[in-house]
Amino acid sequence: MRRKASLILLALAVFFAALSPLLRWYAYPRLAKVPAHHYQDMVLEARDATLLDYGTMKAEKVPKVTIVQTLKGNVEASERIEKTAGRDVVVWDGLSYVQGPDGKMVSEIPERYIFDAHTQEPVHADGEMVDGDPVERQGIEFKWPFLTEKRDYEYFDAQARVTAPIHYRGTQDFRGVEVYYFEQTIPWTKVPFPKTLPVEGITPETIAETGTTRWYTTVRKFWVEPLTGAPVYGEEIHREELRGGTLLGDRDKVTAFAGHVKMREDYIDHTVDLVTSNRTLILLLTSYLPWGFLVLGAVLLSLSLYLEARGRRDPAPAPTTEPEPVTA
């Protein structure tokens, strides 16, 4: 009986020991992916900012500028692209909507971001764009890869339509969560005007006729939870200027926007809670279950060997003999 139990424990030990690396190196890369139907919104604010009044073409100090950013998964588009891409694809339709202190629209910039659901590498397909302009992204945008590394990454800037390094600056604690801090600086760069502007009759084409150009620079900061690759917080020190042309009269340049853009407090709390929950799922697949199965396998193997050794030490029971019959 002990020998049979020992063999059963040995089989279970081998099963759990083999399951440990399979879960980590085979199942995890296939199970960890961004869902195609993902949706999120985020509100950012720049307080005590400078904003251009397109009616008077003068920069004014305002108490607050609000940026509402949404990302909506386009399942139909992702399924269509997957047929030719041969891999799991996510399509995010994004919108960055900027409004002034009076709640009126300042600008809105739509974009479509197409990427690999597992690695977050960009996938180039019809429809990839920023503000209606076709683009071919290089590098990441919005999200880092699962199991983010302590190194620099290439990050796509939608305003300038360029990819530039975003530098790893160290590990920090953000509200109880260990995060990697990344920072990117985009130097002054000539950028297109948004196609949707707040004043009727003013379009990028009419501004271009005046010879006035738009320039932009930013310092972009992200605090990224490394297991999920999700930013838990972000900031931008953002500046825009209009330069030259007859639109500005005798001025060489005018500030279109200047402000320190930060996530609103309630969205920080929501994001930290969501990322913490997803972090637990990643830990189950990469750490808790693989190591747990390995330890369980070792325990079962020890029990199997113990029962086998004890069975060998115990002496076999002495045979019983029938007494010889007594005859008269």
pTM: 0.87
Tell me the HSE value of 272 on the side-chain side, using a 13 A CA sphere.
17
Q: DSSP H helical segments within 23-101, as ranges? A: 28-31, 75-85
> Of all residues in the chain, what percent carry a pLDDT higher than 90?
62
Q: Which is higher by pLDDT, 325 or 47? A: 47
| pLDDT tops 70 at residue 315 | no
Cα separation values, 215 from 56, 68, 173, Å = 19, 22, 35
State the chain's mean pLDDT as an integer: 90
Using an 8 Å Cβ cutoff, are 182 and 224 in contact? yes
Distance (Å, whole) CA 144 – CA 132: 25
Q: What is the pLDDT of residue 88?
A: 94
Q: What is the pLDDT of residue 129?
A: 96
At 97-146, the pLDDT tens digits run: 999 998 889 999 999 999 999 999 999 999 999 999 999 999 999 999 99
Using an 8 Å Cβ cutoff, are 166 and 183 in contact? yes
Q: What is the mean pLDDT of residues 180-202?
A: 92
Closest CA to 96 of 162, 159, 183: 159
At 163-178, the pLDDT tens digits run: 999 999 999 999 999 9
Q: What is the pLDDT of residue 324?
A: 61
Q: What is the pLDDT of residue 11?
A: 85
Sheet containing strand 162-174, strands side by side:
133-134, 129-130, 105-116, 89-99, 58-73, 39-53, 253-263, 230-243, 213-225, 177-191, 162-174, 153-157
Using an 8 Å Cβ cutoff, are 148 and 229 in contact? yes
Q: Which two tokens stand for residue 308?
A: 């086998």
- Confidence band, pLDDT 50/70/90 cuts, at residue 1: low
Contacts of 188 (CB under 8 A, 6+ apart): 215, 216, 217
Q: What is the pLDDT of residue 319?
A: 60
Distance of CA 252 to the CA centre of its chain: 40
Distance of CA 18 to the CA centre of its chain: 31
Q: Which is higher by pLDDT, 207 or 213? A: 213
Distance (Å, whole) CA 305 – CA 307: 6
Q: What is the pLDDT of residue 21?
A: 87
Q: What is the mean pLDDT of residues 85-92?
A: 93
| pLDDT tops 70 at residue 325 | no
- Degrees, nearest 5: CA angle 194-217-91: 55
CA dihedral 173, 119, 262, 273 (to 10 degrees): -60
- Confidence band, pLDDT 50/70/90 cuts, at residue 322: low
Distance (Å, whole) CA 232 – CA 221: 11
CA dihedral 41, 60, 207, 134 (to 10 degrees): -20
Q: What is the pLDDT of residue 260?
A: 96
Q: What is the pLDDT of residue 175?
A: 92
Closest CA to 32 of 292, 169, 228: 228
Tell me the three state secondary structure of residue 142.
coil
